[in-house]
Amino acid sequence: MARSPLHSRRQFLQYTALGGAFAGFSLPVLAAQTAPDFREILPGSMTRAGADFSNYGQPSAYEKKVIRWISANSEMTGNGVSWSPLHELQGTITPNGLHFERHHNGVPDIDPAQHELLIDGLVERPLKFTIDALKRYPQQSRISFIECGGNSNSSFRSKPIQTPAGYAHGLVSNAEWTGVAVKLLLEEAGLKPAAKWAIAEAADGASLNVSIPVDKLLDDAMLALYQNGERLRPENGYPVRLLLPGWEGIVNVKWLRQLRLQQTPAMTRDETSQYTDLMPDGTARQFSFEMAAKSLITSPSQGMTLPDNPGIYQVTGLAWSGRGKITRVEVSADGGESWVDADLQAPILDKAFTRFSLPWQWQGQYAVLQSRATDDSGYVQPSREQLIANRGRHGYYHFNAIISWEVYEDGYISHIYPD
Ligand SMILES: Nc1nc2c(c(=O)[nH]1)N[C@H]1C(S)=C(S)[C@@H](COP(=O)(O)O)O[C@H]1N2
Ligand SMILES: [Mo]
Q: Residues of the chain with pLDDT > 70: what percent?
A: 92
Q: What is the pLDDT of residue 12?
A: 52
Residue nearest to atom 10 of ligand 1 (CA): 250
Does residue 259 contact residue 221 with C-beta atoms inside 8 Å? no
pLDDT at position 5 is 63
Give the atom of ligand 1 at the shortest distance from the alpha carbon of 242: 24
Angle (CA) 91 337 401, round 5°: 50
Pocket of ligand 1 (CB under 6 A): 99-104, 146, 148, 202, 204, 206, 208, 235-237, 249-250, 252-255
* Burial (CB count <10 Å: 0-12, 13-18, 19+), residue 30: middle
Report which protein residue has its CA nearest ligand 1's atom 11.
Answer: 250
| Annotated domain spans of the chain | 103-285, 294-416
More confident residue, 396 or 6: 396
CA of 241 to the centre of ligand 1 (A): 9
Residue with the smallest CA separation from ligand 1 atom 15 is 249
Mapping DSSP onto H, E and C, the string for 174-220 reads EEEEEEEEHHHHHHHHCECCCCCEEEEEECCCCCCEEEEEHHHHHHC
Residue 26 CA, ligand 1 centroid: distance in Å: 51
Closest-lying ligand 1 atom to the alpha carbon of residue 256: 1
Phi and psi angles of residue 200, each rounded to the nearest 5 degrees, phi first: -95, 125
Mutate to test the pocket of ligand 1, among 104, 174, 398 (most ligand atoms within 8 A of CB): 104
The alpha carbon of residue 404 and the mean position of all alpha carbons in its chain are separated, in whole angstroms, by: 18
User: Which of 134, 100, 102 minimizes the C-alpha distance to 115?
Assistant: 134
Label residues 198-235 b or e (16+ Cβ within 10 Å = b): bbbbbbbbbebbbbbbbebbeebbbbbbbbbeebbbeb
102 C-alpha to ligand 1 centroid (Å): 5
Task: Supply the pLDDT for residue 363.
Answer: 92
Q: In which band, very low, low, confident or very high, does the pLDDT at 222 lie, cut at 50, 70 and 90?
A: very high
Contact residues for 175 (Cβ-Cβ < 8 A; gap 6+): 93, 94, 96, 99, 143, 144, 146, 227, 228
Answer whether residue 368 shows pLDDT above 80.
yes
Summarize pLDDT for 162-175 with one digit per residue, the tens: 999 999 999 999 99
Q: How far apart are CA 84 and CA 243, in angstroms?
A: 19
Is 138's pLDDT higher than 80?
yes
CATH of segment(s) 294-416: 2.60.40.650
Nearest CA to ligand 1 atom 12: 250
**For atom 5 of ligand 1, which residue has the closest CA?**
103
**Closest ligand, as measured to the CA of 80:** 1
Instruction: Say how many Å lie between the CA of residue 243 and the centre of ligand 2.
Output: 13
User: Sorting pLDDT into bands at 50, 70 and 90, what band is 17?
Assistant: very low
Digit-coded pLDDT (tens) for 258-299 = 999 999 999 898 899 888 888 888 888 899 999 999 999 999
Mutate to test the pocket of ligand 1, among 209, 240, 254 (most ligand atoms within 8 A of CB): 254
Mutation probe of ligand 1 site: the residue of 105, 115, 252 with most atoms within 8 A of C-beta: 252
Residue nearest atom 21 of ligand 1, based on CA coordinates: 101
| 102 vs 410: CA distance, rounded Å | 37
Q: What's the pLDDT at 38?
A: 62
Cis peptide before 239 (omega within 30 of 0): yes
72 Cα: distance to centroid of ligand 1 (angstroms) = 14
Residues within 5 Å of ion ligand 2, judged at the Cβ atom: 102, 148, 249-250
Mean pLDDT, range 19-32, rounded to an integer: 47
How sure is the predictor about 97, in pLDDT bands with cuts at 50, 70 and 90? very high
In the CATH scheme, what is the homologous superfamily, with its name and number, of domain 103-285? Oxidoreductase, molybdopterin-binding domain (3.90.420.10)
C-alpha closest to that of 210 among 166, 173, 262 = 262
**Cα gap 403→371, rounded to integer Å:** 7
Summarize pLDDT for 326-339 with one digit per residue, the tens. Answer: 999 999 999 999 99
Of the pLDDT bands very low, low, confident and very high (cuts 50, 70, 90), residue 8 is: low
